[in-house]
Amino acid sequence: MRGFRNILIVSAIVVTFAGSSAWANLVVNGSFETGADPGSFKTLNPGATDITGWTIGSQIDYIGTYWQASDGGRSIDLSGYSAGSIQQDIDTVVGSTYNVTFDMAGNPDGLPTIKQLVVEAIGVDAQAFDFNITGATKSNMGWTTMQWSFVANAATTTLKFTSLVGDTGWGPALDNVNVSVVPAPGALALLGIGTTLVGWMRRRKAL
């Protein structure tokens, strides 16, 4: 009986650990809520430290009340007066797969109608995404969740978002960035077993 009780305890630990680590956001300040108040919006140049956790690679607009954010009250226009970029280093494990999600829209003030950005794990992989601003307004941006994944090849990976809209200040909009590790199949199996055993234990107590 003692051995079975130990299995239940270990299973509970597995459920707690797997649940907290596998889906925890590895990005700091993914919705850009922490940092200097941009007011309506503020143009940031390379090296600016206004947004906690993020490095400005080339000029962007830090959006406050100018339009409706997807999550919280702030977001990013990835084009300042021209195509810009923003990036962050995250801790990764070589060989592990990481799922990246982010909300994308576009500055509705002007052309082009199709806003494009590329998300990149520098030195690993990259993918471009499009957003059509037709019908979008500042109060109804039409935010859409995008998804991408990469396999890490180093202990630190730089996640970078770059506008592909040049020579204009009306670029792709970015918010609600999330990066989480995809559990290995063995970990998922343990999680399933642990969840089943813990559920069984709770039912036994209820009886």
Whether 7 shows a pLDDT value over 50: the answer reads no
Q: What is the pLDDT of residue 20?
A: 45
Residue whose structure tokens are 């202990």: 155
Distance CA 58, CA 200 (A): 54
Q: Tens of pLDDT along 141-188?
A: 999 999 999 999 999 999 999 999 988 999 999 999 999 999 977 544
Mean pLDDT of 196-207: 49
Question: What number of CA atoms fall less than 13 Å from residue 44's CA on the CB side?
Answer: 30
Model pTM?
0.81
Q: What is the DSSP letter of 141?
A: -
Confidence of residue 8 (pLDDT cuts 50, 70, 90): very low
pLDDT in tens, 51-106: 999 999 999 999 999 999 999 999 999 999 999 999 999 999 999 999 999 999 99
Homologous superfamily of the 25-183 domain (CATH):
Galactose-binding domain-like (2.60.120.260)
Cα-based angle 170, 65, 119 (whole degrees, multiple of 5): 45
Q: Which helix (H) or strand (E) holds 114?
A: strand 114-121
Q: What is the pLDDT of residues 116-143, one digit of tens each?
A: 999 999 999 999 999 999 999 999 999 9
| Residue located via tokens 């919705």 | 31
CA nearest neighbour of 166 among 100, 112, 121: 112
Query: How far is the C-alpha of 30 from the C-alpha of 132, rounded, in Å?
Result: 23
Residue 18 has pLDDT above 50, yes or no: no
